[in-house]
Amino acid sequence: MKRPYLWKYSFPMKKGIFDNEYYFYEDGNIIHFYDRNQNKFNIEEIVSPSSISEEEKLIMLESCPDNLKETIKHMLQL
């Protein structure tokens, strides 16, 4: 059973089939859930803010609900 997350952002699917999602947790962890290619699906890893591009960070922050924006901004080290 998955633990509850604070917020999730899903980038549009590449080629219509490849997931690219980030899950933000209250403990500060960020989980990246993605598909690398047609043979490697459902990869899940804890990532650091430095491993996320500035462009991706800004896209996520722009979509973040106002009540979580400061928390997510802090987690992304922006």
16-59 confidence digits (pLDDT tens): 778 899 999 999 999 999 988 777 888 999 999 999 999 999 99
Examine residue 35 and state whether it is found in any structural domain, yes or no: yes
pLDDT per position as a tens digit, 56-72: 999 999 999 999 999 99
Rounded-to-10 torsion of CA 14, 41, 50, 12:
20
Q: What is the pTM of this model?
A: 0.88
- Does any domain span residue 52? yes
Evaluate whether residue 54 is within a structural domain: yes
Residue 1 reports pLDDT greater than 60: no
Can you give the residue range of the structural domain that contains 52?
7-75
Contact in structure between 10 and 21 (CB atoms under 8 Å): yes
**pLDDT for position 13:** 75
